Amino acid sequence: MAEKNRLVVLPCNGMDKEAGAISRELALLLSEKGADVICPVLYQSKPKRYQKELESGKLLVIDGCKTGCASKLAREHGLKIAKKATIKELLKEENLKSGKSPVIGKEKLGLLPAWAERLEELEDIAAEEGGTCFTATVSFRRFAFDKFIFKVPEAGYFFNENDCWARVEGERARLGVSDYVQQSASDIIFFEPPEVGKELSMFDEAGSIESTKTALDIISPVSGTVTAVNGELVEAPELINSDPYVAGWAVEVELSDFESDRELLMDCAGYFDYLNEKVKKEYMKRYGGK
């Protein structure tokens, strides 16, 4: 049973739409080929029941639609998602749409065996080598203005002038907003993540946040594909206030052209000076240079 690389499938199991029914059907096809299937309903009430399977295999999550219930479930339980597919996207490739009826259409049923094979061969989403796991300790430089203390990391981060950062490790980056955004927006109470799989050009919106005072977009400093969003942040957006640069990360992307993106970005030292000026200037503007 406990062979490594064995697939463990967590389907969305949505009962009310065709996409959900397809994800369930695909999971069953894969189970015939030897994969373990996790029932998302049972898993929710008795997660221990699947502990053995999850420890030994590689987790494939099949979401029906963009709501991503299966992914969310996995994230909530801290599961490492190795592979991922979304039925709506698979359908889109075939120029098909998900139907409203939960009964799978005939032309779609015919596609499923081929899809099952494809999913078996699906590549892992997280890079396994290269240590791109964003675990290194970050140290900060600080400057004070009035009672406010502003923090900027010492290294490893790149900023745009929209006060958003990219923490770059190898081919990947995590994105978020700076301490300045956190302090001027005040208490953040919502984080709306972008879709996993979304292609970002530089300066595209990578999700948005809303505070008690205002709302703003996270404007991506880099181009790439969204590979993960911080599920914890959806639950606890105040992490952006308490730890804007590490625990408050919003989005993880696979970089597509960092070498050229970087020419337009500030490094940590550059942003430190930029922010210092910005805070001062803003104050003068507000109070007329007292």
Binding site for another protein (CB under 8 A): 141-149, 160-162, 184-187, 189-190, 201-205, 208, 212-217, 219, 238, 241-242, 264, 276, 278, 280-283, 285-290
Instruction: Say how many C-beta atoms besides its own lie within 10 A of residue 137's C-beta.
Output: 5
129: helix, coil or strand?
coil
Structural contact between residues 205 and 258, judged by C-beta atoms closer than 8 angstroms: no
Q: CB of residue 91 vs another protein: minimum separation in angstroms?
A: 28
Q: Which is nearer to another protein, 31 or 162 (CB)?
A: 162
Q: Which is nearer to another protein, 15 or 264 (CB)?
A: 264
- The secondary structure of 187-254 as a DSSP string is SEEEEEPPPTT-EE-TT-EEEEEEESS-EEEEE-SS-EEEEEE-HHHHH-TTHHHH-TTTTT--EEEE
- Residues near 46 by beta carbon (within 8 Å), at least 6 away in sequence: none
Q: Which is nearer to another protein, 169 or 192 (CB)?
A: 192
Q: Which is nearer to another protein, 120 or 238 (CB)?
A: 238
Q: Which H or E run contains 61? A: strand 58-63
Q: Which is nearer to another protein, 94 or 273 (CB)?
A: 273
Provide the Cα torsion 26, 30, 33, 37; round to 10°: -130
Q: Which two tokens stand for residue 87?
A: 């039925």
Q: Which two tokens stand for residue 246?
A: 């590490």
Q: Which is nearer to another protein, 38 or 266 (CB)?
A: 266
**Residue 196: closest CA among 88, 79, 55:** 88
Q: CB of residue 245 vs another protein: minimum separation in angstroms?
A: 14
Q: CB of residue 8 vs another protein: minimum separation in angstroms?
A: 33
Q: CB of residue 282 vs another protein: minimum separation in angstroms?
A: 5
Q: CB of residue 154 vs another protein: minimum separation in angstroms?
A: 13
Q: CB of residue 186 vs another protein: minimum separation in angstroms?
A: 7
User: Strand pairing partners for 144?
Assistant: 149
